[in-house]
Structure 1
Amino acid sequence: MSVKEWDKEKYKGVFVAMYSAYDDTGEVSEERVRKLARYYVSTGVNGLYVGGSSGEGILQTAEERKLVLETVMDEVAKELTVIVHVGANSTKESAELAVHAESVGADAISSVPAIYYRLSEAAVERHWQEMIDSTSLPFIIYNIPQTTGFHLSQSLFKKMAVQDKVIGIKMSGESVFELQQFKVNAEKPFLVYNGPDEQYLGGRIMGADGGIGGTYGVMPELFCRLERLYREGEINEAQQLQCKINAIISKLLSFPSLYGACKAILSLRGIETGIPRLPLLPVGEEDMGSLEALNEEIGKLTASYTRYQV
């Protein structure tokens, strides 16, 4: 299917990298998945990125990942654009997850290279190609070299991007220059998502069409506001807001794990998602005072802006 047949606008804007949602025994909770997805609908974000780093997809079984996606689609499919991370260590499982994503109506699939093994470009290309060929869905490359150890070259990128079904890249590397190069080198209408939350504005200025991020999950309204300020050309105010967001991110990174801190903050708001799955660490009781203060800080900053739908 030609990329021209896909509605580009539905893939732009603020996409929350959705967290895992477990019950008190550590098993996937459909009820909590639904509540979390429903919460994000209420905040004005454009979509969800399911099963990525924030969603702990790599730490879940294929059946758990399918259950999470089925629940999300059943709850919010008609209200948000849903991109699914289907990457797994084996190509076979990745393709299986891709086929499942199409069967439940996901809007697009995405994948990192396989982790652990240091793979050649030919191996990564074959890995991604199997997923691309397994469905008719749009495919979004996920480039995050700091965790995968694979640095996507512009030559391999160009080879992948020429395909009609490859419509975008989630650029989680830290170089906005490289982000801009991906945008230019696609040589066709192409989506680029900013990955590092602390440089959302920088990514947008350098050509990103929106962002996918984990810390969006505890301050979605702030990222929606940041997106609106950028679109309206209010760059100075946007810069000020990005700096305030970055101060919050710095505090989140001071806890035993980013995801543990974010999930604990949601719990303070009555949105239970359980603790992250080991080896990701939960926060301890000694951290709760600091998290309560940080949650209050986020609340005050959010309240200073008017909620809106991007």
Structure 2
Amino acid sequence: MEQQLHGIIPPLTTPFTATGDVYEEGLRQLVEFQIGHGSHGLFICGTYGSGPLMSVAQRKQVHEIVVDQAKGRLTVVAHVGTANTADAVELAKHAAGIGIPYVSSVSPFYFRHDERTVLGYFRALVEAVDIPVYVYNNPQTAGITITPTILQHLADIGVQGIKDSGFNYIDFTHLVLGMSDYPDFRFIVGTEGIALPAWMAGAKGCVAGLANAFPEVMVKLWNLYQAKEYEQAAALQLKVNKARQVLHIPSSTNAACYAALKARGIDAGHPKAPVLPIEEAKEKAMLDGFRELGML
């Protein structure tokens, strides 16, 4: 049986060539980098992975490369969210068909949708595949917030977990409290910024953007939590939040990860247009910040 989703799950950066094609060599190198630093899973084709910027064919290509390179050494979650149901279903079926054990999706975006539409979208995903489907709560991009009531209704139609990127600890606890009658429903927090308190409130892992470039820091935080070394974990959580501030010096944390990876000797290629490489001055400020924290 596939291991339950847990631990540190970087939302894997997708390397591209200068012309916007998937850069296979760089992607394979990134998978090895994450495995070598102890990550427990990979969340692919999400926000940091530029999923919404890719064609369906490119996202399938990323699925296949990651699965081939990982070879079962960590758990893969494919984000299949799109603005339309048909493409999301196609991506979910492809992921399941090549052995990816989990799919996740943001609510359909661009148009403003109501709960009925969101439920219809996720019902189509659940009915399309025999693997767990997780809802990805990202109000900033989807334009809808997954409330406790909506989450209950999603669970009723077969959604098995949530990646919550609402960035609000109190709201996260309200989701957990709202699912008290659903003991098997699984919570993954979608930001390193509240990782430790979210774990203590019931989350089983963290999709951490910072872990794209610094997975070992987040793995250490997870290990301290698992060992009940709460004082050390709390101190490291504060360092993580400072590092998160540094990662946000550029206007795009997506683009920032390419520069941070390059500084660590990883050839992550280029961001995909319209995302641009970060400005030289901001890159210097960011890297200096990481050096001050002893991370470079």
Superposition deviation, residue 295 in structure 1: 4.4
Deviation at 1:297, TM superposition (A): 4.2
Aligned partner of residue 60 in structure 2, secondary structure? helix
> Structure 2: which amino acid aligns with 1:272?
D
| Structure-to-structure mapping, 1:146-295, within 5 angstroms | 146-163=140-157, 165-186=158-179, 187-295=182-290
Q: Give the residue type in structure 1 aligned to 2:41.
A: G
In structure 2, which of residues 280, 291, 296 is the aligned counterpart of residue 296 of structure 1?
291
- Once the two structures are superposed, the pairs formed by residues 131-146 of structure 1 within 5 Å of their partners are 131-146=125-140
Identity %: 30
| Structure 2: runs of 5+ lacking an equivalent | none
Q: What's 1:64 paired with? A: 58
**Partners of 2:249 and 2:286 within 8 A in 1:** no
Query: What is the CA distance between 1:231 and its match in structure 2?
Result: 1.5
Matched with 1:98 is 92
Tell me the distance in 1 between the aligned counterparts of 2:165 and 2:244: 16
Q: Is 2:187–2:205's contact at 8 Å kept on the other side of the alignment?
A: yes
2:14–2:268 CA contact under 8 A, matched in 1: yes
Residues 114-172 of structure 1: CA deviation (Å, up to 9, x unaligned): 11111010001111111111110111111111221101122221122134x52210011
**Match of 1:24?**
18
SS at 1:158's partner residue? Answer: helix
Contact 2:249-2:282 within 8 A present in 1 as well: no
**Contact 1:226–1:241 (8 Å) recurs in 2:** yes
Taking only aligned residues, the RMSD between alpha carbons, in angstroms, comes to 1.7
Unaligned runs of 5+ in 1: 1-5, 303-310
Q: Hey, what's the Cα distance between the residues in 1 that align with 2:28 and 2:292?
A: 26
* Residue of structure 2 in register with 1:308 after alignment: none
Amino acid at match of 2:166: G
Equivalent pair of 2:76/2:101 in contact (CA under 8 Å) = yes
What is the CA–CA distance in structure 2 between the aligned matches of 1:289 and 1:111, rounded to whole Å? 34
1:108 aligned residue: 102
When structure 1 is superposed on structure 2, of 119-128 and 279-288 the one drifting more is 279-288
Instruction: Give the Å deviation of 1:212.
Output: 0.7
What is the Cα deviation at residue 294 of structure 1?
A: 3.6
Structure 1 residue identity aligned to 2:176? K
- Does the 8 Å contact 2:107/2:144 carry over to 1? yes
Residue 39 of structure 2 is matched in structure 1 by: 45
Distance in 1 between residues matched to 2:81 and 2:58, nearest whole Å = 14
Q: State the one-letter code of the partner of 1:100.
A: H
Aligned with residue 81 of structure 1, among 71, 75, 81: 75
Residue 9 of structure 2 corresponds to 15
Equivalent position amino acid for 1:167 in 2: Q
- The CA distance in 2 between the partners of 1:152 and 1:25, in whole Å, is 36
